[in-house]
Amino acid sequence: MSFSKFIGRSLLSSMFVVGGVNEFRNAEKMTGMVDALKEQLPDAISGPLGTVDSETLVKLNGATMAAAASTLALGILPRLSAAVLAAQMVPVTVAGHPFWKKDGAERQGNWIHFLKNVSLTGGLLLVSATKK
């Protein structure tokens, strides 16, 4: 792996490592967002998810995020790692930054974070589609 790819992957991964660890450590604070997202899902999906405790889902998401980001930074299965992170970004972004439900400054803040997540997802998709 080239030095520039290592630096690029490490920089892209940094937010996911920190975010995943924080999510795992503070899972109880994020269960409300997961509960709200579960209510919006179709029955075919929410049925199986409804049997899993929301705090467990948050911890699983955080651990997966930190692990995939670490392997991405280290160049271990980088395409798969990036694809896993990109897939995780969809529910995380929808649940975490619903700008369409907010007003004023809160709407603006959520919009900025929503766009940041969309941009990060684009970077992850580029990595997942790039052959050596």
pLDDT per residue over 98-111, tens digit each?
A: 899 899 999 999 99
Q: How many degrees, rounded to 5, is the angle at CA 68 between CA 79 and CA 121?
A: 65
pLDDT at residue 130 is higher than 70: yes
pLDDT tens-place string over residues 58-83: 999 999 999 999 999 999 999 999 99
Measured CA to CA, the distance from residue 11 to residue 45 in angstroms comes to 34
User: How far apart (Å, rounded) are the C-alpha atoms in residues 25 and 59?
Assistant: 8
Q: Which amino acid is at 111?
A: W
| Distance from C-alpha of 44 to C-alpha of 49, rounded to nearest angstrom | 9
Neighbour tally for 91: CB within 10 Å: 15
- CB–CB of 68/85 below 8 Å? yes
Whole-number average pLDDT of the chain:
90
Calpha distance 9→72 (Å, rounded) = 6
At residue 113, does pLDDT exceed 80? yes
What is the distance between the alpha carbons of residues 82 and 11, in angstroms, rounded to a whole number? 13
Q: What is the pTM of this model?
A: 0.87
* pLDDT at position 14: 96
CA–CA dist 113, 19 (Å, integer): 13
